[in-house]
A and B are shown apart, each in its own frame.
Chain A
Amino acid sequence: MDLFSNLAMGFATAATPENLFFCLVGVILGTLIGVLPGIGATATIAMLLPITFQLEPVSSLIMLAGIYYGAQYGGSTTAILINMPGESSSAVTAIDGYQMARRGKAGTALAIAALGSFFAGTVATVFVALFAPPLTTIALKFGAAEYSSLMVLGLVSSIALAHGSVPKALAMVTLGLLLGLVGTDIYTGTPRFTFGIANYADGLNFVALAVGVFGIAEILRNLEGEQDRTVLSTKLGALWPSRTDLRAMVAPMLRGTGLGAALGILPGGGAILASFASYTVEKRLSDRPEEFGQGSVAGVAGPESANNAGAQTSFIPLLTLGIPANPVMALMVGAMIIQGIVPGPNVATEQPALFWGIIASMWIGNLMLVILNLPLIGLWVRLLKVPYHVLFPIIMAFCSIGVYSVNSNVYDLFAVAGFGLLGYVLMKLKCEPAPLLLGFVLGPMLEENLRRAMILGRGDPTTFVTRPISLTLLILAALVLVIVLIPQVRRKRAEVFTESD
């Protein structure tokens, strides 16, 4: 069968000693930075991104994928141990995970999270391998109009699935799109919004934006009120879950995986929604719903599986359509472009080794996480005790080196400071940075397709609504927007996302 030969090729690519090594380094580094409190997967990847640029494209993407899983797992670790989720998707884990830790079952909670993630990751990898190729075939038929509409749908749904105010998120997307347009216009060569600075003619550096808005802004926020974190001083407890725990986690894990795999494909990043949804479902189905919030095994196993499955399947829109489903995938697009790969349906046909290698490395990365992290949990806990004022200067030094090493452009370092300030101001104004990054990556792509569609449509804007696929996508986008603005849904949405606070 095609699937098996393809997967075999993927594993052959991913399992070379070199790539295994980079996957391992990625997983370790990702976990290392990910366990730092308050730093989620996106910030971690933004900071580590530049390290991967010196590598071959395949190795660099495999390492990035490793960083991603590592960072996610690191986020769950801080969520469980100090009730400080790095990213909103692990906020749900914090609810019951932290309670388990307080009852002296921190080790069990961490093990459940790791096992659930591994299982979900395995299933979702197969899912990606099954569904990515047929989608690629469909995507190859897309024209410029369809692509424009698809990107609009992606941007709109990214808002629906994120939390916070809808108009603000829309404004952030628009601002991101505008920032993405800075630089030389591809059709006419006119410099735009560069304030006459020639060094910005190639556009604002993507790494600078990501590091500034996610990394530096986060550091600034953590410096606001310097307070000591209370790391659990209690023992980790037994690592291996007991029989009862194992039995209690199987069903939630299966349901979580299914939910996560399905929601993860949605443009806009379903991983966050998936973990919230899974928690709600488990609470409904449980015969002891009162346990939730008090350290329920199902409350950790379900969302963690959903989270990881969703993280995995969110690669599908990226690999098939070249459209990032969430900020992390936006970072991946940025990395691919810097490596000279144009993300999209052509990757699967033109660079099968890369395509399948990434898919295979997902599974390998997950396996490494389990093998590595269960014995290393003690080390991560000790890392949590390193005071923040020692950590952030190190992070700043690495950020500076990293951003500079991309293009050896000193103006990128000035841009980092600027974006750090912008990110901090926007964060203070309660504007989520994720849609901004998504818009920034999609800005040039959207404009190019829009203009091409207009040329092909002979200047008739109805080309977007007369082509059936394009029309369907636009209707979907409009529907999503209408739905999130309906008062009841808006209230319900606010409820779902605040349950974790």
Chain B
Amino acid sequence: MKPTSFDRTDAAAGILFIVLGLIFGWMSLGLDLGSPRRLGPGAFPLILAVVLTVLGLVILAGSLKSEGEELGALAWRGLLFILPAPVFFGLTVRGLGFVPSLFVTTVIAAMASLRMKLPAALALAVVVTIFSTMVFSYGLGLPFRRFGPWLSF
């Protein structure tokens, strides 16, 4: 990997922490800080937010003094398919029901890999869905509706 003139990883981390610190700090100021005797809901978060911001500054300052490496490959395809999978499950598990929702969730997740072809993904999802329905719904008796109201005609 090509070395960069300053440590970009650390610089990005520092900036991320500063931004998060400022957001939390700003939100804490909107809360009651209370008195020293009776600290309000905003007091402890404000202290932490200040600490986080300062640490972010320290990391950022340190990054300028040292060389670093490039970030390397990003899992774009992974991000695109893996993250929506649980979101889809959340959006549809009540409406579609456990069985169809889990099936589609598994297919979505499987598409994150370049090696996974659609037929194989479908087959895998069938197995996973049957297994999970047996184990979680029938076996452990979790209170899932197997088929939801969206599917009742």
| Residues of chain A having any CB pair with chain B under 8 Å | 51, 54, 165, 167-168, 170-171, 174-175, 177-178, 181, 185, 187-188, 190, 192-193, 216, 219-221, 223-226, 387-390, 392-394, 396-401, 403-405, 408, 410-414, 416-417, 420-421, 424-426, 428-431, 446-447, 450-451, 454-455, 458-461
| Complex: A315 Cα to B25 Cα, angstroms | 35
Q: Which among A389, A414, A451 has the greatest number of chain B C-beta atoms within 10 A?
A: A389
Q: Which residue of B lies closest to A54 (CB)?
A: B140
Which one of A51, A396, A430, A450 contacts B86 once the chains associate, using CB atoms below 8 Å? A396
Q: How far is the CA of A185 from the CA of B82 in the complex (A)?
A: 33
11 further interface pairs, Cβ-Cβ under 8 Å (given A54-B142, A417-B87, A430-B9): A171-B55, A175-B17, A187-B41, A216-B86, A223-B82, A226-B114, A393-B124, A400-B85, A404-B93, A413-B87, A451-B43
List B2-33 residues whose CB lies under 8 Å from chain A: 9-10, 12-13, 16-17, 20, 24, 27, 31-32
Q: Which residues of B contact A (CB under 8 A)?
A: 9-10, 12-13, 16-17, 20, 24, 27, 31-32, 35-45, 48-49, 51-52, 55-56, 58-59, 62, 71-75, 77-79, 82-87, 89-91, 93-94, 102, 105-107, 109-110, 112-116, 121, 124-125, 128-129, 132, 136, 140-143
Do A174 and B52 touch across chains, with their CB atoms under 8 A apart?
yes
Contact of A399 among B31, B38, B86 (CB under 8 A): B86
A-B contact count (CB 8 A): 199
Top 5 nearest A-B pairs by Cβ distance? A459-B37, A413-B90, A223-B78, A185-B41, A396-B109
CA distance A389 to B89 in the complex (A): 20
CB < 8 Å neighbour of B83 from A193, A411, A420: A420
Determine the residue in chain A with the shortest Cβ distance to B94.
Answer: A410
Taking a contact as CB atoms closer than 8 A, the residue among B37, B93, B110 that contacts A454 in the complex is B37
- Assess the A192–B31 pair: CB atoms within 8 A: yes
Question: B114: which A residues are within 8 A, CB to CB?
Answer: 226
Contact B77 A171 (CB under 8 A): no
Say which residue of B9, B37, B87 sits within 8 Å of A458 (CB atoms): B37
The CA of A181 and the CA of B27, in the complex, are separated in Å by 12
Give the complex CA separation of A185 and B12 in angstroms: 32
Report the minimum CB–CB distance from A204 to chain B (whole Å). 14
Complexed CA–CA distance, A458 and B107 (Å): 59
With A175-B20, A405-B142, A425-B16 as known contacts, state yes or no: A224 contacts B106, CB within 8 Å: no
- For B25, the closest partner residue in chain A by CB is A178
A454 to B39, CA, bound (A): 8
How far does the alpha carbon of A259 sit from the alpha carbon of B45 in the complex, in Å? 38
Interface centre among A54, A398, A426 (most CB of B within 10 A): A398
Contacting pair A401 B132 (CB below 8 A): yes
* 5 examples of A-B residue contacts, CB within 8 angstroms: A216-B83, A219-B82, A393-B128, A414-B87, A426-B13
Contact with A193, one of B12, B27, B56, B74 (Cβ below 8 angstroms): B27
| Contact between A188 and B106, CB atoms less than 8 A apart | no
A399–B106 Cα distance when bound, in Å, is 11
A203 vs chain B, min Cβ distance (A): 13
B74 close to A190 (CB less than 8 A): no
Task: Give the Cβ gap from B6 to chain A, nearest Cβ, in Å.
Answer: 14
User: Which of the residues B13, B39, B124 comes within 8 Å of A168, measured between beta carbons?
Assistant: B13
- Is the Cβ of B39 less than 8 Å from the Cβ of A451? yes
Q: How far is the CA of A388 from the CA of B93 in the complex (A)?
A: 26
Q: How far is the CA of A417 from the CA of B83 in the complex (A)?
A: 5
Other-chain contact of B58, A167, A224, A431, A447 (Cβ < 8 Å): A167
CB proximity of B63 to chain A, nearest CB, Å:
10
Tell me how far the C-beta of A313 lies from the nearest C-beta in chain B, rounded to whole angstroms: 31
Contact of A396 among B44, B59, B73, B82 (CB under 8 A): B82
B82 touches A178 (CB 8 A): no
Contact A421 B121 (CB under 8 A): no
- CB–CB A393/B93 < 8 A: no
Which chain A positions have C-beta within 8 A of B75?
A: 220-221, 223-224, 424
Which listed residue (B55, B74, B89, B115) contacts A174, Cβ 8 A?
B55
Determine if B48 and A428 form an interchain contact, defined as CB atoms under 8 angstroms apart.
no
Are B115's CB and A389's CB within 8 A?
yes
Check if A410 sits within 8 Å of B90, measured CB to CB. yes
Known: A400-B105, A410-B90, A447-B44. Contact between A405 and B136, CB under 8 A? yes
B13 touches A429 (CB 8 A): yes
Question: Given known contacts A400-B102, A424-B75, A459-B35, is B86 in contact with A394 (CB within 8 Å)?
Answer: no
- Please pick, from B32, B62, B84, B128, the residue contacting A167 in the complex, using a CB distance under 8 A: B62
B113 touches A226 (CB 8 A): yes
Q: Is the CB of B40 within 8 A of A188?
A: yes
Q: Does B128 contact A397, Cβ atoms closer than 8 Å?
A: yes
Residues of B with C-beta under 8 A to A54 = 140-142
- What residues on A are CB-neighbors of B56 within 8 Å? 171
Is A177's CB under 8 angstroms from B93's CB? Answer: no
Specify which of A396, A411, A451, A459 is in contact with B90 (CB 8 Å cutoff). A411
- Would B32 and A190 count as touching, CB distance under 8 A? yes
A455, B38: Cβ atoms closer than 8 Å:
yes
- B107 neighbours in A (Cβ, 8 Å): 393
Residues in A neighbouring B38, C-beta threshold 8 A = 451, 454-455, 459
Q: Are B9 and A429 in contact (CB under 8 A)?
A: yes
Contact of B115 among A226, A394, A450, A460 (CB under 8 A): A226
Q: Taking the nearest CB of chain A, how far is it from the CB of B129, in angstroms?
A: 8
Q: Which residues of B contact A408 (CB under 8 A)?
A: 143
